[in-house]
């Protein structure tokens, strides 16, 4: 598999690929009960194991992919969302998948 090529500009607010990568991506892992309690319930999946997604897109993602996006709960987002960094392996994997969708 060929990953997307890193560029000098990884503007997360004009991308959104990591937030629309997979329903399994925004999983809760090391969050404390207090951290989980701060996430509004309308954004939590029915099994309480992660963020609610619709067609692989996190329900807390606002905006249009590739144009302008933002997280509705940025200050209290899950750890997996906090650890995904612009240009890291997870970012490139998500960007690659998004680019494949666009090409289809």
**SS3 state at 63:** strand
**Counted domains in the chain:** 1
Is 5 domain-assigned? no
Distance CA 86, CA 80 (A): 13
Residue 23 has pLDDT above 70, yes or no: yes
Residue 38 to residue 77: CA distance in whole angstroms? 9
- Residue 91 covered by a domain: yes
7-30: average pLDDT? 86
In terms of residue numbers, what domain contains 73?
A: 12-103
Asked if residue 3 is part of any domain, the answer here is no
Assess if residue 7 is contained within a domain. Answer: no
Could you read off the pLDDT of 35-83 as tens digits, one per residue?
999 999 999 999 999 999 999 999 999 999 988 999 999 999 999 999 9
Q: Is the pLDDT of residue 5 over 90?
A: no
Confirm if 29 and 80 have CB atoms less than 8 A apart.
yes
pTM of the model: 0.82
Which residue carries 């960094």 as its tokens? 85
Specify the DSSP class assigned to residue 30: S
């Amino acid at each position: 598999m060929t990953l997307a090529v890193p560029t000098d500009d990884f503007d997360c607010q004009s991308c959104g690929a990591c937030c629309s990568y997979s329903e399994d991506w925004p999983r809760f892992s090391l969050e404390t009960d207090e951290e989980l309690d701060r996430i509004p319930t309308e954004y939590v999946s029915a099994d309480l194991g992660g963020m609610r997604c619709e067609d692989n897109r996190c329900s807390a993602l606002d905006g249009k992919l590739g144009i302008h996006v933002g997280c509705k709960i940025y200050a209290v987002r899950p750890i997996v969302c906090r650890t995904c960094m612009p240009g890291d392996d997870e970012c490139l994997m998500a960007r690659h998948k998004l680019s494949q969708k666009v090409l289809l």
